[in-house]
Amino acid sequence: MHRTHVLSHLVAPALFLAVALGALAPASTLAQQEPPAPTPATPSVPTVIPTPTPRPAGTPPRVGLQVGHWKSNELPDELSRLRTSTGAYVRGLAEVDVNLDIARRVAALLTAQGIVVDLIPATVPPSYDADAFVAIHADGSSSSRARGFKLATPWRTSRASQHLLEALSAEYAAATRLPRDGGITVNMRGYYAFNYRRHTHAIARTTPAVILETGFLTNPADRALLTGQPDIVAAGIANGILRYLRERDPSDGAALIPPEFGSYRAASPTVAVRAAPSDTARVLLQATPESRFFVFRERDGWFEVMVRGNRTVTGWVRVSDLVASNEPPPAPPPSSDS
Ligand SMILES: [Zn+2]
């Protein structure tokens, strides 16, 4: 959560995205959001697939727990614009203190299971390499009714990151009984710590990563849980991470590689961008021949895309509705960098 700049130029493009999705994003992630970095104008399959860092047999798993906004004043020059991102401050309660308390409890639970834990401040070690990276934040809203937790992976989602998200979602919901607020994640996916293309101080490309908004400090029930029963919250997070580590196949290096896609355009004049990968899902945008598609995930014959046309939306398009283009990929929308 971030409470400065809310009326600045940072908000307009992000609001644009959020409104397109029918959901108003909180200021928290807007301030830290970045668009996906443009893919170089290369073929739609990667030409070089780096091998994930091999880990010697018997090496204990390593997990990074990032405490949202912690020591943000120490961020390096490349992220200087986030130095004032101090998080929510709700009725005498600072988000960073809630994040830190929960993260320390998660660290204790994981360490007891033989896992090596790094408690990471806002500044991520360069190309941070670990078996899992979880950024821990808490949310705020102008409405005290908004509640629940949110989870998101980076724009380019490796199978491992998706697996981590699903394990964490299931275990966190089971432990906390909080509802999952799934509608606003587009603004979390551009989280600066995920952006290894743009920043030195970011996760390594192959580190499975998620950002978790643990609940709303502005909602009485969520706040009571986050501050009154932090061990339950921490158990939900630790159980999710442990479940992922238990279920994954450590020999499946390909699962760690984020997909890379090229530039696409519509195959016909009547391509619909939908809110979900289904022919009955709500239409967010009718693409035009001028529309350019940035693809960041493929699932069951559908692409998850960011489309730039008259307006920018994120949604789903049938793979068969697009054709590869040799043009440079669409420029990303204005970011909080600018
Ligand atoms: Zn935050």
Domains of the chain (ranges; CATH) run 11-47+57-255 (3.40.630.40), 263-325 (2.30.30.40)
Round the average pLDDT of the chain to a whole number and report it. 82
What's the pLDDT score for residue 309?
Answer: 64
Ligand 1 centroid–CA 69 distance in Å is: 6
Question: What value does the mean pLDDT take over residues 19-39?
Answer: 44
pLDDT at 13: 38
Residues β-bridged to residue 308: 292, 312
Phi, psi of 215 (to 5 degrees): 160, 180
Average pLDDT over residues 116-131: 97
Residue 85 alpha carbon to ligand 1 centre in Å: 8
Residue 10 has pLDDT above 90, yes or no: no
- In the reported structure, the alpha carbon of residue 273 is separated from the centroid of ligand 1 by a whole-number distance in angstroms of 30
pLDDT value, residue 86:
81
Q: Is the pLDDT of residue 296 over 50?
A: yes
Residue among 255, 299, 236, 228 at smallest CA distance from 131: 255
> Does the complex come out with an ipTM higher than 0.90?
yes
Q: What are the phi and psi torsion angles at 272 (to 5°)?
A: -100, 135
Residues in Cβ contact with 104 at an 8 Å cutoff, skipping those fewer than 6 apart: 119
DSSP of 141-189: -SSTT---BEEE--SS--HHHHHHHHHHHHHHHHHH-PPB--TTGGGTT
Tell me the pLDDT tens digit for each residue of 258-275: 988 877 889 988 899 999
Residue 276's SS3 state is coil
CA of 283 to the centre of ligand 1 (A): 31
User: Distance, CA 166 to ligand 1 centroid (Å)?
Assistant: 21
CA of 155 to the centre of ligand 1 (A): 19
- Is the pLDDT at 27 greater than 70, yes or no? no
Task: Kindly give the distance from the C-alpha atom of residue 255 to the centroid of ligand 1, in angstroms, as a whole number.
Answer: 28
Of all helices (H) and strands (E), which one includes residue 226? helix 220-228
Residue 249: helix, strand or coil by DSSP? coil
Would you place residue 176 in the very low, low, confident or very high pLDDT band (cuts 50, 70, 90)?
very high
